[in-house]
């Protein structure tokens, strides 16, 4: 069944696990199994991927049960984080006539469209004795007046919306996504500025607070609109968010912008002045000119923000060239296929079949370097090149990966990496075969590829395999993880063995710590990803990422590769 892009956009989509959204109606044809084909190789080359999955098997049932209990756990954590700060702070917030941060975003975005929230579990158990739900800031991609925008909204119920180190990191990551994808930025500002006890970790370094304003200036200079809505305090450094925006709205008798608040002014100059007189909406809209529009309340301010976006005359996202079909095989089956035990092999063809249009896949070099699957497909009608692990990376698979990435760059085809990698092959044979230089070719290709890249960590993300498969350091436009994924240099057993080999006594404490540090919650709390998604949401989330990447006036960039060591 061909679906229109609009119909898909109307799907409620969120990367928060607790929101399980309706799937569009699909026609699922009778199953064909791999056995229908003469050989697995033959099956692999036929473009419609067959399935060998038996939903009645014990393994499938066990896998589905373990994955759904993990998804439920994450769902619960997402729901908790979405509440924001403590009840007392939320009540105070509402009593002031202010809307809660997520209600603001709902009012800002077009009805019936999706808001793709990013890193909703940032800050989870990050600071001892301090809870910072969602890192104190909500970021994500939403549609406003038909334009895809990056929304960055402080949650002032979390310690007055002040910036912890993770808040700064999340704000800057949102700006990075906006810059790479040329998304207009909407800042809903309601923050006391730097979280002072953490000042050393938020103030001076390159990617600290100052970078936010640097990014605003640079994006504005690149023609990426910057719009602010002042809905609470913007104190000290925070005053530069509205002051460096292209257009700024302020809520009267609620929003304030000043370099120093009344207590500091009194201490510095002896002057006694109220916050409203010092930097309120009327002053800034009528006298100083720091703000451009005065709103009577939150709801009015958000209407004005929508109007600002409607006046941008911003290029709209080009629609895909072709109609598309939903996958032939149900994405909800991914839970039962994959499970949570990473010692089990993940059948990547089955995974790809539940992500791409019509489960249709033109596999490239299926008979060579088969521990890496490469091939062409479409996602919601947009072409993509898939690079997926199917075992350890050998010289052959690395060379094949580098070759395929070159093809995609030459053809301007975005790349989707499905990561389940324990690393490159080790040992004498591998070294003799030049695994170091061949692996390096893959890493070079990934690093230099100037097409949009997307990474989904579906299993392990270990060792240099993380690099070769477009880990965070390789600047994928988005990186999402599945609930059972694990990210670490190596597993606890291997790490302990290495430490013992270099003469260190290893106790269970170290093993437990490595286990905890490899967990998806540890990773997402630190913003090593853009969020944890249930496997069944992968197609939708990638679709929205692709839409974002195709937006703005993205000029096609020619990839220039570095030296490939032969």
Cα angle, residue 178 at apex, residues 77 and 466 outer, rounded to 5°: 65
Beta partners for residue 188, in sequence order: 153, 229
CB-based closest residue to ligand COA: 192
- Is residue 196 at the binding interface for ligand COA, with CB under 6 A as the rule? yes
* Contact by Cβ (8 Å): 383, 361: no
Please give the residues from 162 up to 181 whose contact with ligand COA meets the rule CB under 6 A. Answer: 162
Stretch that binds ligand COA, among 53-61, 171-179, 193-201, 376-384 (CB under 6 A): 193-201
CA 204/CA 209 separation, integer angstroms: 8
Nearer to ligand COA, 95 or 555 (CB): 95
Shortest Å, Cβ 451 to ligand COA: 40
CA 483/CA 73 separation, integer angstroms: 9
Nearer to ligand COA, 193 or 381 (CB): 193
Per DSSP, the residues of 464-494 read THHHHTT-GGG--SEEEE-TT-EEESS-HHH
From the list 164, 78, 69, the residue with the least C-alpha distance to 524 is 78
Nearer to ligand COA, 86 or 434 (CB): 86
Please give the residues from 219 up to 258 whose contact with ligand COA meets the rule CB under 6 A. Answer: 233, 235-237
Shortest Å, Cβ 188 to ligand COA: 15
Kind of pairing between the strands at 478-481 and 486-488: unpaired
Stretch that binds ligand COA, among 194-202, 292-300, 392-400, 476-484 (CB under 6 A): 194-202
Q: Which of 195, 340, 518, 538 binds ligand COA (CB under 6 A)?
A: 195
Shortest Å, Cβ 233 to ligand COA: 4
Nearer to ligand COA, 191 or 536 (CB): 191
Q: How many other CB atoms are there within 10 angstroms of residue 56's CB atom?
A: 7
Nearer to ligand COA, 88 or 505 (CB): 88
Shortest Å, Cβ 88 to ligand COA: 8
In Å, how far are 192, 235, 510 from 270, measured between CA atoms?
Answer: 22, 19, 56
- 47: Cα separation from own chain's centroid: 30
Stretch that binds ligand COA, among 35-43, 102-110, 153-161, 528-536 (CB under 6 A): 153-161
CA 249/CA 305 separation, integer angstroms: 7
* Contact by Cβ (8 Å): 514, 489: no
Stretch that binds ligand COA, among 56-64, 190-198, 378-386, 460-468 (CB under 6 A): 190-198
Shortest Å, Cβ 129 to ligand COA: 11
Q: Which of 50, 135, 136, 193 binds ligand COA (CB under 6 A)?
A: 193
Per DSSP, the residues of 261-330 read -HHHHHHHH-----HHHHHBHHIIIIII-S-SEEESSHHHHHHHHHHHHHTS-PPPPPPPSS-EE--SS-
CA 120/CA 17 separation, integer angstroms: 10
Shortest Å, Cβ 213 to ligand COA: 13
Shortest Å, Cβ 342 to ligand COA: 40
Nearer to ligand COA, 21 or 96 (CB): 96
Nearer to ligand COA, 187 or 522 (CB): 187
From the list 247, 304, 301, 256, the residue with the least C-alpha distance to 281 is 256
Nearer to ligand COA, 94 or 565 (CB): 94
Nearer to ligand COA, 156 or 374 (CB): 156
- 78: Cα separation from own chain's centroid: 15
Q: Which of 133, 160, 242, 459 binds ligand COA (CB under 6 A)?
A: 160
Nearer to ligand COA, 2 or 264 (CB): 264
- Is residue 192 at the binding interface for ligand COA, with CB under 6 A as the rule? yes
Stretch that binds ligand COA, among 25-33, 69-77, 157-165, 459-467 (CB under 6 A): 157-165
End-to-end alpha-carbon separation of the chain, Å?
Answer: 47
- Is residue 261 at the binding interface for ligand COA, with CB under 6 A as the rule? yes
- Is residue 320 at the binding interface for ligand COA, with CB under 6 A as the rule? no
- Is residue 476 at the binding interface for ligand COA, with CB under 6 A as the rule? no
Shortest Å, Cβ 277 to ligand COA: 15
Shortest Å, Cβ 275 to ligand COA: 8
Q: How many residues bind ligand COA (CB under 6 A)?
A: 15
Q: 209-221 and 165-181 are packed helices; what angle lies between their axes, rounded to 10 degrees?
A: 10
Per DSSP, the residues of 366-434 read TTSSTTEEEEEEEETTEEEEEEEESS-B-HHHHHHHHHHHHHHHHTT--EEEEEEE--B--SHHHHHTT
The residues, any chain, with a CB within 8 Å of residue 463's CB and separated by 6 or more, are: 421, 422, 423, 424, 489, 490
Stretch that binds ligand COA, among 135-143, 158-166, 239-247, 423-431 (CB under 6 A): 158-166
Which phi and psi angles does 427 have, rounded to 5°?
115, 170
The residue count for the chain: 566
Shortest Å, Cβ 333 to ligand COA: 45
Q: Which residues are near ligand COA by CB under 6 A? A: 156, 159-160, 162, 192-197, 233, 235-237, 261
């Amino acid at each position: 069944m061909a679906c229109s892009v609009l119909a898909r956009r109307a799907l409620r989509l969120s990367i928060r696990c607790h929101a399980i959204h309706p799937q569009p109606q699909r026609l699922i044809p009778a199953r064909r199994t791999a056995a229908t084909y003469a050989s697995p190789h033959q099956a692999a080359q036929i473009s419609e991927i067959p399935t060998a999955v038996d939903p009645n098997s014990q393994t499938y049932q066990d896998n589905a049960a373990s994955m759904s209990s993990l998804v439920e756990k994450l769902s619960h954590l997402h729901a908790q984080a979405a509440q924001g700060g403590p009840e007392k702070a939320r009540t105070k917030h509402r009593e002031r006539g202010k809307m809660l941060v997520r209600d603001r975003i709902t009012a800002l975005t077009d009805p019936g469209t999706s808001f793709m929230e990013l890193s909703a579990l940032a800050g989870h158990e990050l600071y001892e004795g301090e809870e910072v739900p969602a890192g104190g800031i909500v970021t994500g991609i939403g549609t406003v007046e038909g334009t895809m925008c990056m929304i960055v909204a402080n949650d002032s119920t979390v310690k007055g919306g002040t910036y912890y180190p993770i808040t700064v990191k999340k704000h800057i990551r949102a700006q990075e996504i906006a810059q790479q994808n040329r998304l207009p930025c909407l800042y809903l500002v309601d923050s006391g500025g730097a979280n002072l006890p953490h000042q050393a970790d938020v103030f001076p370094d390159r990617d600290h607070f100052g970078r936010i304003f640097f990014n605003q200036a640079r994006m504005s200079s690149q023609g990426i609109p910057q719009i602010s809505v002042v809905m609470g305090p913007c104190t000290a450094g925070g005053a530069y968010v509205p002051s460096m925006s292209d257009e700024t709205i302020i809520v009267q008798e609620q929003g304030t912008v000043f370099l120093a608040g009344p207590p500091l002014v009194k201490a510095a100059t002896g002057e006694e002045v109220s916050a409203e007189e010092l930097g309120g909406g009327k002053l800034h809209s009528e006298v100083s000119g720091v703000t451009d529009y005065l709103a009577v309340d939150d709801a009015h301010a958000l209407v004005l923000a929508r109007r600002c976006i409607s006046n941008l005359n911003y290029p709209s996202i080009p629609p895909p060239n072709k109609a598309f079909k939903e996958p032939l095989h149900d994405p909800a089956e991914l839970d039962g296929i994959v499970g949570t035990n990473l010692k089990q092999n993940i059948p990547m063809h089955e995974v790809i079949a539940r992500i791409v249009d019509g489960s249709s896949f033109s596999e490239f070099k299926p008979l060579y370097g088969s521990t890496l699957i490469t091939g062409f497909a479409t996602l919601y009608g947009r072409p993509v090149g898939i690079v997926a692990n199917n075992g350890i990376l050998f010289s052959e698979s690395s060379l094949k990966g580098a070759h395929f990435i070159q093809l995609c760059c030459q053809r301007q085809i975005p790349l989707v990496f499905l990561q389940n990698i324990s690393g490159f092959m080790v040992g004498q044979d591998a070294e003799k075969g030049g695994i170091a230089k061949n692996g390096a070719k893959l890493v070079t290709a990934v690093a230099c590829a100037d097409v949009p890249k997307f990474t989904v960590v579906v299993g392990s993300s270990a060792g240099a395999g993380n690099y070769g498969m477009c880990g965070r350091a390789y600047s994928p436009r988005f990186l999402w993880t599945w609930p059972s994924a694990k990210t670490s240099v190596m597993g606890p057993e291997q790490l302990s063995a290495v430490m013992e080999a270099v003469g260190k006594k290893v106790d269970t404490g170290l093993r437990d710590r490595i286990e905890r540090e490899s967990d998806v919650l540890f990773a997402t709390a630190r913003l090593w990803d853009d969020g944890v998604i249930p496997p069944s949401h992968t197609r939708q989330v990638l679709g929205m990422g692709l839409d974002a990447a195709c937006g703005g006036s993205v000029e096609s960039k020619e990839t220039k590769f570095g030296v490939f060591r032969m």
